[in-house]
Amino acid sequence: MDFIPINSIADIDPDNISIRDINKRYIDRDGNRYATRFNLQTRRVEVVRIVKTRAEAQRVSQQIKRQRLETRRAERQPVAAPDDLTERLDVPDEHTDLAPPPTLHTPDFDDLAGGDDPLAPSEPAAAGPSMQDQVFVEQHLIDEIVSHLSRCKERQQVVMNNLKNSRCFDTGGELSDLTREIDVDCWQASDNAINYHKELYGYPRSVAQYLIRLTPEERTRVDALPDDAAQMEVIRRLESRRAFEDVYQKVLSTSNRMLEMVQSVPEETAATLMAAQRQQLEDATASTEILLSEVHEKIHQIEHWKKRYA
Q: At what angle do helices 275-308 and 228-263 cross, to 10 degrees?
A: 150
Task: Tell how strand 25-27 and strand 3-5 pair up.
Answer: parallel
Sequence-separated (6 or more) residues with CB below 8 Å from residue 211: 219, 222, 223, 235
| Residue 306 pLDDT | 87
Q: Which residues of 180-209 are buried (b: 16+ CB within 10 A; e: fewer)?
A: eebbebbbebbeebbeebeebeeeeeebee
Per-residue pLDDT of 219-229, as tens digits, reads 999 999 989 99
Query: pLDDT higher for 92 or 259?
Result: 259
Per-residue pLDDT of 139-167, as tens digits, reads 888 889 999 998 899 999 999 999 999 88
Over residues 247-254, the mean pLDDT reads 95
Over residues 252-274, the mean pLDDT reads 90
Cβ atoms of 166 and 63 within 8 Å: the answer is: no
Cβ atoms of 48 and 135 within 8 Å: the answer is: no
Per-residue pLDDT of 163-219, as tens digits, reads 999 888 877 788 889 999 999 999 999 999 999 999 998 899 999 999 999 999 999
- For the chain, give the percent of residues with pLDDT over 90: 35
Sequence-separated (6 or more) residues with CB below 8 Å from residue 267: none
| Residue 207 pLDDT | 93
Task: Give the 3-state secondary structure of residue 228.
Answer: helix
pLDDT at position 278 over 60: yes
> Could you tell me the CA-to-CA distances from 252 to 4, 146, 166, 177 in Å, in that order?
30, 16, 23, 17
| Residue 174 pLDDT | 85
Over residues 89-99, the mean pLDDT reads 40
Cβ atoms of 86 and 65 within 8 Å: the answer is: no
| Residue 116 pLDDT | 39
d(CA 149, CA 251): 9
| Residue 57 pLDDT | 60
| Residue 302 pLDDT | 92
> Could you tell me the CA-to-CA distances from 41 to 37, 187, 201, 305 in Å, in that order?
12, 24, 10, 23
In the sheet where 33-39 sits, what is the strand order? 3-5, 25-27, 33-39, 44-50, 95-97
Torsion angles phi and psi, residue 53, rounded to 5: -130, 165
> Could you tell me the CA-to-CA distances from 267 to 12, 165, 263, 278 in Å, in that order?
48, 18, 9, 11
pLDDT at position 23 over 80: no
d(CA 146, CA 247): 11
Per-residue pLDDT of 98-135, as tens digits, reads 444 333 333 333 333 333 333 333 333 333 333 333 34
d(CA 46, CA 298): 23
Q: pLDDT band for position 77 (50/70/90)?
A: low
Strands (E), the chain: 3-5, 25-27, 33-39, 44-50, 95-97
| Residue 310 pLDDT | 66
Over residues 30-56, the mean pLDDT reads 73
pLDDT at position 58 over 80: no
Torsion angles phi and psi, residue 265, rounded to 5: -75, 115
**No. of helices (H) and no. of strands (E), the chain:** 9, 5
Over residues 48-72, the mean pLDDT reads 66
Mean pLDDT (the chain, rounded): 76
